[in-house]
Structure 1
Amino acid sequence: MSNQQKVAIVTGASQGIGAAVVKAYRDRNYRVVATSRSIRQGSDPDIVAVAGDIGDPATAERVVAEALSRFGRIDTLVNSAGIFLAKPFTDYTIEDFSAAISTNVAGVFHISQRVAAEMLKQEAGHIVNITTSLTDQAIAGVPTLLANLTKGGINSATKALAIEYATRGIRVNAVSPGVIKTPMHAPETHEFLAGLHPVKRMGEIRDIVDAILYLESAAFVTGEILHVDGGQSAGH
């Protein structure tokens, strides 16, 4: 099998933003390794599904191994998997903390480390992290400490990796969304959530996909935290 066709890995790929990112990269003729806890193999031979907990290092190992054995290379990693728990700070449980650290931090660390090792061999690659604009501007009445703690760390790590790999052919960027209309948010919450943005509407999944695709093609952009948030990060 020819391995000249580019290959993307997408986490959190079974629904919402992740599923749309898989489709977008296939539309660009990438082969894709898609992973999430509940994902199933479909009919497209150029999409390989790997089910597993992204916070588990063994899942990262399997995803990277599948990409290399099936397609022979890894060009892009989109870290789309994430969980969001909005509670008053003192209401968070140990289970909440552990889940957020596992998915949002370990889930980025383990697979990014393994992917970066392969990208260093080919001296080329692109890593994109999905974070949140709440790390720039907290919103009164919307307590989100675990999102700020975990995704804020990923924003900082994005810049650190971009500098570490700046001369090695690997770019590292992040997309920082506002509230996006995904299955995560029940329809009855949409009016309230729209009001959290200066533009007074929620974002669409396509807005995030377009930002990722822009970063994919922007060869001179690295270390960027691209806000796609209806003005949320600018102020309220």
Structure 2
Amino acid sequence: MSKVAVVTGASQGIGAATVAAYRKLGWNVVATSRTIKPSDDPGVLAVPGDIADPAVAARVISAGLAEFGRIDTLVNNAGVFIAKPFTEYTAEDFDQITGVNLRGFVAITQPAVAAMLEQGGGHVVTISTTLVDHANSNLPSVLASLTKGGLNAATKSLAIEYAGRKVRFNVVSPGIIRTSMHPAETHEFLAALHPVGHMGDVSDITDAILYLENASFVTGEVLHVDGGQSAGH
């Protein structure tokens, strides 16, 4: 039976590339986002919905089990990023960011891990941000650090909780990646924020995810893919 990956935030950017990367390995994929369209590929099950809604998160996992019979890996890629000075964040901003980044993580990871335990193991990879470790005065974004820093800590906690039961938990912590989220006119400024002098590509992140997929001795790791940002500047 083919292995099965669940990818959140799967309609574009890193999420869409992650779906393609797992399909290339021959895995089946459950792809979810608010705007996901049905796929012509029988190996991809698209489940639309807002991951911040626990009912949607539960439905994603149950639909994957019904369609493919197992869940081997969950890639928690969905995230909301709003950069603002601290005093300008609104209650709505807070609810939106914590809803997706925290409640969404818990709501989908719980049933995914339950399925993994039943089948004897699995893997959870969460996409974070290097801003957690490398705050930048040009990019005030405390709610990203608050939520994604929490996910980094939760990953270590869960890695130890489940280490004896063959479920691994890891994080990929990107720098700024060249996606449609960043207009071309911002690229020169964003490139200069990295010690290596350029932005990352989506393939840098999918390569890191697939490394962790195959690294059976690695759990509780926060893997920085950030052009050296977390090391200094």
- Asked if Structure 1 and Structure 2 have the same fold, meaning a TM-score greater than 0.5 normalized by the shorter chain, the answer is yes
The correspondence of residues 80-159 of structure 1 with structure 2, limited to 5 A, is: 80-159=77-156
Q: Deviations over 1:56-100 (max 9, x none)?
A: 001111101111111100000000101111110001111111110
Q: Percent of aligned pairs with the same residue?
A: 62
Separation of aligned partners in 1, 2:74 and 2:38: 19
Corresponding residue number in structure 1 for 2:191: 194
1:166 paired with 2:163, answer yes
Partner secondary structure for residue 106 of structure 1: helix
Equivalent residue letter for 2:171? A
Q: Which residue of 2 aligns with 1:57?
A: 54
- State the match for 1:211 in structure 2: 208
Match of 1:180 in 2: 177
Deviation of the 1:141 alpha carbon: 2.5
Question: Quick check: 58-67 or 12-21, which moved more?
Answer: 58-67
Paired with 1:65 and 1:137, the residues of 2 have a C-alpha distance of 37
**Structure 1 gaps, min length 5:** none
- Give 1:235's aligned residue: 232
Amino acid at match of 1:42: S
- Over 6 Å off, 4+ runs: none
Aligned-pair CA distance for 1:233 = 0.4
Answer with 124-133 or 188-197: which moved more.
Answer: 188-197
How far residue 203 of structure 1 moved from its aligned partner, in angstroms, is: 0.4
Distance 2:95 2:183 in 1: 24
* Map of 2:73 onto structure 1: 76
For the residue of structure 1 that corresponds to 2:149, the secondary structure is helix
Q: What residue is the counterpart of 2:4 in the other structure?
A: 7
**Letter matched to residue 128 of structure 2:** T
Q: Point out where structure 2 has 5 or more consecutive residues left out of the alignment.
A: none
1:157-207: CA deviation from partner (whole Å, max 9, x where unpaired): 000000000000100000000000111111111111111111111100000
Give TM-score, length-normalised by structure 1: 0.97
Q: Distance in 1 between matches of 2:169 and 2:127?
A: 11
Aligned residue pairs: how many?
Answer: 233
Shift of 1:142: 1.6
Q: Distance in 1 between matches of 2:215 and 2:79?
A: 25
TM-score between the two structures when normalised by the length of structure 2: 0.99
One-letter amino acid matched to 2:74 = L
